[in-house]
Structure 1
Amino acid sequence: MTRTEAPEEVPEIRSPSSRVIVIGASVVVVLLLGAVLGMFLTQRALSGGEQATPTAGSVDVGFAQDMSTHHTQAVTMANWERDHTADPELRQLAFDIQSTQLEQIGRMKGWLMLWNQPEQAVGANMAWMQQPAGHDGMAMGGTQAAGNGALMPGMATNDELTKLRTLSGKDLDVYFLQLMLRHHQGGAGMAQYAHDHASVTAVRTLAQSMLVSQGAEMDLMRQMLTARGAQPLPS
């Protein structure tokens, strides 16, 4: 009697479209986790006797709106670097930035939902950082408030993002480090102002976390640029 042979196992082949779906699902999960955490922490703070829910134009609302937008560009650049670099060190840095800032975006959007505020600011960016009238429109700490359509500090222009996508190899890695370092530097002033002036404890805590984690990342990016014989972009 002939012994029946077991059929050979066919290895699973994951198509590029499947990979995109997996990545997209992961992004949604991170955003949702951040949103749930943000709403939980804020509800707990408000129930603990903190002041009334932040309103439009407040530091808390403005920071959550503008920093979410600022973070979104960082995530976009980090995703591109992660998927196109051949350097494991750069791939890990890009992954860390992408995952951390996605969770923070989710947390800030959760706050805005809880406060019944739009996800994006109406009017000029960073108006929440402006000093009272008579100070030449300068924000606290010497940062110029961005007008309608103007880029917030550190953000890359469309031309710079286009250039990033045309590069490869060491040129890509260096330009990514330069753009991301400048991006972090620009966001630091916003985080510091929120840390010093926000009314909700959870907002101040998140701002402090950004200052610490991004400060460490800036030090690392400077070291990486030096190791590759490159310099940071002008602030």
Structure 2
Amino acid sequence: MGLNTIFRNRFLDVLASIYIYNEHRGYTSLDRVLEAVRAHCPDNHAFIAAVEKNRADEEKHYNMFRRWFELRRTMPLKVNRTCGHIDHFIESVFGCTIEELDTAAIVADPDAFERLCRVIMITEQRGMAQVEQLLGNRHIRSDNAMRKIFEVVARDEPSHWQPYDEWLRENGRQPRATRRERWTDYWIHKSLMLAKLPALFLDRNTPRLGAWPHEDTGVYSN
């Protein structure tokens, strides 16, 4: 096996492991968001349906990446919240983990609900831009299954951030990211791309998951 093939296989392995973490984190986190949206906007059925679609798509993406690993008869690398964009963003904006988010407090505070919508919107926009770049990557394009997965993700992404943008505009809220939010998004993205992903790529001692995340909610702990 040539060096190029070894590099390609490792790159895809690491990338898919990070994506399967973030997709799982995405749809499970959106359960909390849906709770807040249904309580804050009970009569806005279109907005609720859009968030429900967002959640369903994230779970669909998770299952596509899972199938990619299953076809290779291997499990994803065990990554944790250090590789999670939404994890870092929530912690920066709200000062707590996703699990610690006080849904009732967010629903009761219009400014907090606005920030939550904007965080999700910015995260989804970042994801859309990243997927567009990845679709031009020669290693991804050399793997038909992986390329098709990212093509599906690319088609779904616009419908994930647009509803939050529309809600913010329709309700007189600020759809544009604040300076702090832009910097936070930039810093999280760069640290993932320039530090955490390369470190995972080089660490051959990283263990693999022993169970699929949806079957064991504790596999991503620590």
TM > 0.5 fold call: yes
Percent identity between the two aligned chains = 9
Q: How many residues align?
A: 158
- Deviation, 1:219, is 2.8
Aligned position for 1:113: 70
Contact kept, 8 Å, 2:26 with 2:86, in 1: the verdict is no
Q: Are 2:197 and 1:229 equivalent residues in the alignment?
A: no
**Cα distance per residue 1:139-187 (max 9 Å; x no partner):** xxxxxxxxx8634445433426334533115736433321211221232
CA distance in 1, matches of 2:77, 2:29: 20
CA deviation map 1:105-156 (0-9, x unaligned): 011011112223332356xxxxxxxxxxxxxxxxxxxxxxxxx863444543
1:211 to 145, 148, 154: 154
CA contact 1:75–1:101 (8 Å) conserved in 2: yes
> Which residue number corresponds to residue 180 of structure 1?
120
Which residue is equivalent to 1:100?
57
Offset, 1:191: 1.8
2:61–2:153 Cα contact (<8 Å) kept: no
| Structural mapping, 1:121-140, within 5 Å | none
Distance 1:54 1:99 in 2: 33
Paired AA for residue 68 in structure 2: W
Unaligned runs of 5+ in 1: 1-51, 123-147
Q: Secondary structure at the match of 2:127?
A: helix
1:72 aligns with 2:21: no
From 168, 180, 185, give the equivalent of 2:107: 168
Kindly indicate whether the alpha-carbon contact (under 8 Å) linking 1:75 and 1:102 is maintained by their aligned counterparts in 2.
Answer: yes
Asked which structure has the greater RCO (Cα within 8 Å, sep 6+), the reply is: 2
TM-score of the two chains, using structure 1 as the length reference? 0.56
Letter in 2 for 1:70: N
CA–CA separation in structure 1 for the residues paired with 2:33 and 2:84: 22
Please provide the CA RMSD for this pair.
3.0
